[in-house]
Amino acid sequence: MAGGIRETAAALRREIERHNRLYYIEAKPEISDFEFDRLLEKLVALEKEHPELLVPDSPTQRVGGAITRTFPAVAHAEPMLSLANTYSLDEIAEFCKRLKKLLEEEGGRSMDTVAELKFDGVAVSLLYRDGLLFRGATRGDGMQGDDITANLRTIPTVPLRIDGTDHDLSALGTGDVEVRGEVFMLKEDFNRLNDSRPEEDRFANPRNATAGTLKLQDSSEVACRRMRFVAYWLKGLDDETAVHFSRLELLEKLGFYTGGNYRLCRNLGEIGHFIEEWSEKRWKLPFETDGVVLKLNDVRLWDRLGATSKSPRWAIAYKYPAQQAETVLREVVFQIGRLGTVTPVAELEPVKLAGSTVSRSTLHNFDEIGRLGVMINDRVVIEKSGEVIPKILSVVLDKRPADVRPVDVPETCPECGTLLVKPENEVSWYCPNERECPAQIRGRVLHFASRDAMDIRTLGKALVDQLVGLRLVKDVGDLYYLQQPQLERLGRMGPKSAQNLLRALDESRTKSFDRQIYALGIRHVGRATARELAIAYPSLDHLARAGEDEIAMVPDIGPVVARSIHDYFSGPGARELLGKLRDAGLKLCGPEKKALVNRNFEGISVIFTGTLSRYDRQKASDLVLERGGRIVGSVSGKTGLVVAGNEPGSKLAKARKLGVRVISEDEFEAML
């Protein structure tokens, strides 16, 4: 009997991995997502009932769940160098000339070069021992990186095993096998992730999203973000003289995704043809690629040619220049945000740019319109910032037509007709009709439901538009009084969808006190300020009764923020909303104070800038709070510590100017 169960489990594993390969690598799925999930659930149940059947390379190990407090540093067997970049074919010709000279010194070897698409992702190294995935690490500083094995296991295109009857392993040696490549995110998965986050917390591009995801401590959250891995480097062969092109082919046989769009080029002309061919074709790909990588095919010469302090001499990356286009600004429309902010948006004559048709671009505010000097009917130059977000760069003045007209500030709100106002010392105009303006209500509901607030994941924009449009929801408190029959009458809302929304609303009742404060959407109250308020006040009722001067005494809250908080609770509807939320079962108060983990940050106000590699911002903040510290939102002379991650912003410069202590992520981790 036991043997039969073991064979059943093994057959299930093989079947699931086969469908994984068909879906993620060959793009030829044979079954639906539902049928695949049923197979996986069957294997999960079998392994749960018979734990002895669980093996390290089971597909069930991809769902994540491991919590990693730290990411230990690991040394790379060979340095992971970054490639030198070039932006012109003339520089590619110079590279080929240098390569030819070096090769002539080595006896006139072949100059065959492999051209590959350059994936815009995050470089990692995978180490296989006895055929099983043993360790996965980031590039780090090139000499050593962080061990992120638990997170890499969740990626479907990272094989958990590279031996077995399905693969010809005669070329592999008996020792460790190392595979290097890039972790990336498909455009549709990136958009889905960003749509689930509040506007101010969205990732700029898929690469940033990937880098942040790889360092999350909860691998089950990593699994949800659906990243991919593309392999482009293989070491550990019996015959280390095998050329690079054949290694890429072997990687495919071993079950790795290579992108498939690599080509052997025998001269500069063929290299130029490959680069030119993909300058347009790349926009049709489902992922971001920003260039072409060229590598000498003869791997035997890689070590002999060596490297500079940063880059190998046997490879180079050609990066495509940012694409620009010229079009006509046909009209400017005005969007109203959740705080009533008026944002001018340019409606453009549709134009193809970077693989998609662009017809809109934000103009941010009226000061930006003045800086650009742009007028309606102007010809403008647009560019995709980071190849994702369209942006107007300039006006083509020598093509300005006679019928241009200025972009005037509207007198009334385009949503509710209320007269607009412009506060003193601010660049933006606002609609003051907070309670009745449909656009502001929609914005507040979406903010309330966002990931860092109440995290009501099933409450998307289309559904909110319906709820507000039909006046079923006039403020966020109304969400908790929705009934299933009401929801089922909405478009695209069957019984199951209605139940899912009601369940998500029910689960949101238990969110932490600081999230509840942040979810209210008070002007100037971000996550850090909400945490300070949650520490300073035991409940929302206490905060609502507090005076402006009292609130200003809370750490990191000055008079402007204090006035905004006081005005919010003094305004019409705030008390009514709190009553609705309380009656709906939200406690609106903080928990009993928990014992500190230690007092290593006691009395220290901390601010983070840039991207941390080991923690997301929320987790890093929690670690400080658990050790007696405080999280602040802006740098001042009273700030105790600035933790600087990758690509820090203006806060770093301000901290140095004020003499505030700045530490690295490694120093921060040591302080914990």
How far is residue 168's CA from residue 402's CA, in Å, rounded to a whole number?
Answer: 70
Tokens linked to 546? 């507090």
| b/e map 503-521, b = 16+ CB within 10 Å | ebbeebeebebbbbbbbbb
Cα 296 to the chain's mean position, in Å?
33
Count of CB atoms situated within 10 Å of the CB of 449: 26
User: How far is residue 170 from each of residues 160, 164, 167, 173, measured CA to CA in Å?
Assistant: 19, 12, 9, 8
How far is residue 540's CA from residue 532's CA, in Å, rounded to a whole number?
Answer: 13
Name residues whose C-beta falls within 8 Å of residue 600's C-beta, 6 or more positions apart in sequence.
Answer: 627, 628, 629, 671, 672
How far is residue 82's CA from residue 167's CA, in Å, rounded to a whole number?
Answer: 31
Residues 464, 468, 473, 479, Cα dihedral to 10°: 0
Question: Is 456 exposed, middle or buried (CB count within 10 Å of its CB: 0-12, 13-18, 19+)?
Answer: buried
Report CA Rg, the chain: 28
DSSP state, 409?
A: P
Tokens linked to 123? 């470089």
Number of residues assigned to the chain: 672
Q: Are 39 and 19 in contact (CB under 8 A)?
A: yes
Q: Terminus-to-terminus CA distance in the chain, angstroms?
A: 51
Q: Which helix (H) or strand (E) holds 16?
A: helix 2-24
Residue corresponding to tokens 């403008």: 380
The amino acid at 402: A
Of 273, 277, 266, nearest in space to 113 by CA: 266
Give yes or no: 118 in active site: yes
How far is residue 326's CA from residue 642's CA, in Å, rounded to a whole number?
Answer: 43
Tokens linked to 501? 């929304």
How far is residue 80's CA from residue 373's CA, in Å, rounded to a whole number?
Answer: 47
| b/e map 316-345, b = 16+ CB within 10 Å | bbbbbeebebebbbeebebebbbbbbbbbe
Helices (H) and strands (E) in the chain, counts: 24, 20
How far is residue 480's CA from residue 508's CA, in Å, rounded to a whole number?
Answer: 10
Reported as half-sphere exposure (CB side, CA atoms, 13 A), residue 468 has a value of 22
Single out the catalytic residue among 118, 235, 580, 651: 118
**Residues labelled as active-site residues:** 118
